[in-house]
C-alpha cells in the first residue's frame, strides 16, 4: 500500500508536466508553452457550451501554471515545496533572493507560526489544575505499630488542590485584556486571588502592562519590557500590596543578554517584598536545554542546575535537575513523552532533604495542564524511590500497548482509507479533464496533421498510455492501490505536441508505467 505522502505527491498538479516543459525551462520556453496552450484552450474558440466550460477550467489552469513559473520567487518556492508551499501564509515578507534551502527553512518557520496561532485560538482560556496527594503511609517504616489495616486506598489522601485560569481578550492589535484567577487549599487552609491586567504594545521594541488584583489584600502593579540593543533587553515591575498591616512596595527588574545564538544570560534583582538577587544562564539547542541559576536572598539562597535531553525523533525528553541551598537539597529526574500533536504526559521523581520522596505526574493538553504531586515518603528510602521510578514506566507501557497503540492504529487506518478515497476521486477528476482536453484538441490536431502531411512530416497513428496487466498479475492489488489496468488512447494529445516534425516529451511524474507506440510517416 502506498504512503499517504506518496499519494498526495502523485495527485498534486505538476505545472511543468501540464505545460510540457522541462524543470530547467527558460523564461522564453515558459512563455512559448503558455502561448501555445492558451490558444488551444481559450474559451472564445469554442461555441459548444459544454466544451466552453471545460475550456475555461483548463485555460485557468494554464494561466495559474504560467503565473507561478514565470515569477522567479514563486517558482523557487514551488520547486522546493510544491503547491503546499505557495499556499502558506506569510511569503510576502520573505526576501526574493533566498536559496532553496533558506526557502524550505522559512516555510517550516511560517508553518510553525501558523500552527501556534491556531493552537492559541483553540486553547483559550488557559488553565492548570494541581492535586496534591499524600501517600506516605504506604512506605512508613512504623507500619508494625498500626493495627488498622483497612486497605490500600485508606493510605492515600488528597492533602491539597489548586486551580488557575486565565482568559485573554484582544481589544485591538496593540491592546490586550487578561483576566486570571487562582484558588487553592492545603491541609484545610484555603486562599485565592483574582487579577485583571491591560497590556499595550508600545512598539516592536517594548510594551507596558497595568495589573490590579484582589485576594490577600488589594494589589497594584506596573510592568514593562524594552529591547535596548540587538542583544540586550530588560523588563521590570513595581508592585504595591495593601494588607491589614499597611502597604508594602516591591520592585523586580531583569536584565538579559543574548550571549550567542543559543545562550541567554539573566540578572534579576528584587527589592521590597522579597529582597534577593539571582543570575541565570540558559542554553537551548535542538538537542538539549541547560539552565544554571544562582540565587541569593534574605530568606533562601540556592544554586540549581537543570538539564533536558531532547529526542525529537522519538518525541521524548529526558529531564534532570539538582538544587541545593539553605532550605535543603534535592535531585529530580524524569521523562516527558508527546502522545499526540497537542498532548503530552510526563513523570518525575524528586528525592530530597528534608522533603523526602515525591512522584509528580503531569498531563498536558495544549495550554491546559493537570499536575499530580504524590508525596511518598518523608525520608529517603530505597523502596519509594524504586517504586516511584518503575511503576510509571510499567503503567505507561501497559497503557500504550492496550489503549494508545490500538487507538492510533485505528486512526491511521481511517486516514489511509480517507486518503485512498481522495486519491481515487482525484484520479477520476483527472480522467474527466483529460477527456475534455482531447475534445478541445480535435480541431487543432486536424490542422497539425494537415501541415505534417503536406511536408511529409511526423504523423502519430496510435499512442497508448497506461499499465499492462498480464494474466498472472493480481488485479485486486492494482485496484486497491488505485491503479488502472486499461490503456488510454493519447494519440490526439501527442499529435498536438508535434512541432516542426518533432515530438519532445519531457519527464513527468511517475504515476503509472507508460507505453507509447506510434508509427511515423516521413
Residue 489 lies in a domain: no
Greatest CA span in the chain, whole angstroms?
113
Minimum mean pLDDT among 30-44, 271-285, 354-368, 502-516: which range? 502-516
End-to-end CA distance of the chain: 45
pTM metric for this prediction: 0.61
Residue 40 lies in a domain: yes
pLDDT for 172 equals 83
Q: Are 13 and 492 in contact (CB under 8 A)?
A: no
| HSE, side-chain direction, 13 A CA sphere, residue 215 | 17
State the DSSP code for 499.
B
Greatest mean pLDDT among 74-78, 99-103, 262-266, 375-379 lies in 262-266
State the DSSP code for 132.
E
**Structural domains of the chain, count:** 1
Percentage of the chain exceeding pLDDT 90: 34
**Confidence category of residue 306, pLDDT binned at 50, 70, 90:** very high
CATH code, domain with 61: 1.10.287.110
Is pLDDT above 60 for 298? yes
Q: Which domain holds residue 73?
A: 1-97
Residue 171 lies in a domain: no
* Rounded Cα distance, 145 and 157, in Å: 20
Residue 92 lies in a domain: yes
State the DSSP code for 150.
-
Is pLDDT above 50 for 509? no
pLDDT for 420 equals 84
**Confidence category of residue 116, pLDDT binned at 50, 70, 90:** low
What mean pLDDT value characterizes the chain? Answer: 80
Residue 12 lies in a domain: yes
Residue 67 lies in a domain: yes
Give 129 or 108, the one with higher predicted confidence.
129
**Confidence category of residue 348, pLDDT binned at 50, 70, 90:** very high
pLDDT for 148 equals 52
Residue 195 lies in a domain: no
| The total number of residues written for the chain in this structure | 522
- Residue 334: how many other CB atoms lie within 10 Å: 21
Is pLDDT above 60 for 236? yes
Sign of CA dihedral 359, 363, 364, 370: negative
- The C-alpha cell that represents 164 in the structure block: 488557575
Is pLDDT above 70 for 67? yes
Give 191 or 44, the one with higher predicted confidence.
191
Residue 164 lies in a domain: no
Amino acid at each position: 500500500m502506498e504512503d499517504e505522502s506518496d499519494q498526495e505527491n502523485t495527485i498534486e498538479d505538476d505545472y511543468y508536466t501540464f505545460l510540457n516543459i522541462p524543470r530547467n525551462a527558460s523564461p522564453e520556453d515558459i512563455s512559448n508553452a503558455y502561448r501555445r496552450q492558451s490558444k488551444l484552450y481559450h474559451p472564445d474558440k469554442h461555441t459548444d457550451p459544454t466544451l466552453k466550460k471545460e475550456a475555461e477550467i483548463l485555460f485557468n489552469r494554464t494561466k495559474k501554471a504560467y503565473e507561478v513559473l514565470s515569477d522567479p520567487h514563486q517558482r523557487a518556492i514551488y520547486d522546493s515545496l510544491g503547491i503546499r508551499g505557495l499556499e502558506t501564509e506569510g511569503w510576502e515578507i520573505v526576501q526574493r533572493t533566498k536559496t532553496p534551502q533558506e526557502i524550505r527553512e522559512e516555510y517550516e518557520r511560517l508553518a510553525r507560526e501558523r500552527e501556534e496561532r491556531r493552537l492559541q485560538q483553540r486553547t483559550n482560556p488557559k488553565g492548570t489544575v494541581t492535586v496534591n496527594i499524600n501517600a506516605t503511609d504506604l512506605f512508613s517504616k512504623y507500619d508494625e505499630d498500626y493495627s488498622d489495616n483497612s486497605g490500600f486506598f485508606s493510605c492515600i489522601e488528597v492533602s491539597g488542590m489548586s486551580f488557575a485560569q486565565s482568559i485573554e481578550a484582544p481589544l485591538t492589535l496593540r491592546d490586550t485584556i487578561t483576566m486570571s484567577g487562582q484558588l487553592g487549599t492545603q491541609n484545610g487552609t484555603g486562599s485565592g486571588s483574582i487579577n485583571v491586567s491591560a497590556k499595550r504594545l508600545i512598539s516592536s521594541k517594548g510594551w507596558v502592562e497595568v495589573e490590579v488584583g484582589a485576594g490577600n489584600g488589594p494589589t497594584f502593579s506596573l510592568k514593562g519590557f524594552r529591547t535596548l540593543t540587538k542583544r540586550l533587553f530588560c523588563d521590570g515591575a513595581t508592585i504595591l500590596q495593601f494588607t491589614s498591616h499597611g502597604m508594602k512596595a516591591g520592585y523586580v527588574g531583569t536584565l538579559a543578554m543574548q550571549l550567542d545564538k543559543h545562550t541567554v544570560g539573566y540578572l534579576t534583582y528584587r527589592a521590597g517584598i522579597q529582597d534577593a538577587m539571582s543570575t541565570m544562564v540558559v542554553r537551548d539547542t535542538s538537542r538539549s536545554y541547560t539552565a544554571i541559576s544562582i540565587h541569593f536572598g534574605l530568606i533562601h539562597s540556592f544554586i540549581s542546575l537543570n538539564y533536558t535531553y531532547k529526542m525529537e525523533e522519538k518525541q521524548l525528553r529526558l529531564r534532570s535537575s539538582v538544587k541545593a541551598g539553605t532550605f535543603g537539597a534535592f535531585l529530580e529526574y524524569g521523562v516527558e513523552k508527546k502522545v499526540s500533536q497537542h498532548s503530552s504526559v510526563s513523570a518525575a521523581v524528586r528525592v530530597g532533604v528534608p522533603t523526602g520522596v515525591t512522584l509528580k505526574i503531569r498531563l498536558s493538553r495544549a495550554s491546559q495542564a493537570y499536575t499530580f504531586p504524590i508525596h511518598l515518603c518523608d525520608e529517603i528510602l530505597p523502596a519509594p524511590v524504586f517504586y516511584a521510578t518503575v511503576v510509571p514506566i510499567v503503567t505507561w507501557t501497559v497503557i500504550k500497548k492496550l489503549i494508545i497503540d490500538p487507538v492510533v492504529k485505528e486512526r491511521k487506518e481511517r486516514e489511509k482509507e480517507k486518503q485512498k478515497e481522495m486519491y481515487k476521486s482525484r484520479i477520476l477528476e483527472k480522467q474527466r479533464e483529460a477527456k475534455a482536453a482531447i475534445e478541445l484538441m480535435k480541431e487543432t490536431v486536424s490542422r497539425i496533421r494537415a501541415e505534417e502531411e503536406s511536408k511529409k512530416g511526423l504523423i502519430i497513428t496510435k499512442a497508448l498510455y497506461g499499465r499492462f496487466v498480464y494474466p498472472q498479475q493480481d488485479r485486486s492489488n492494482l485496484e486497491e492501490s488505485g491503479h488502472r489496468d486499461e490503456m488510454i488512447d493519447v494519440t490526439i494529445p501527442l499529435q498536438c505536441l508535434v512541432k516542426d516534425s518533432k515530438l519532445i516529451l519531457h519527464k513527468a511524474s511517475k504515476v503509472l508505467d507508460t507505453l507509447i507506440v506510434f508509427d511515423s510517416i516521413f
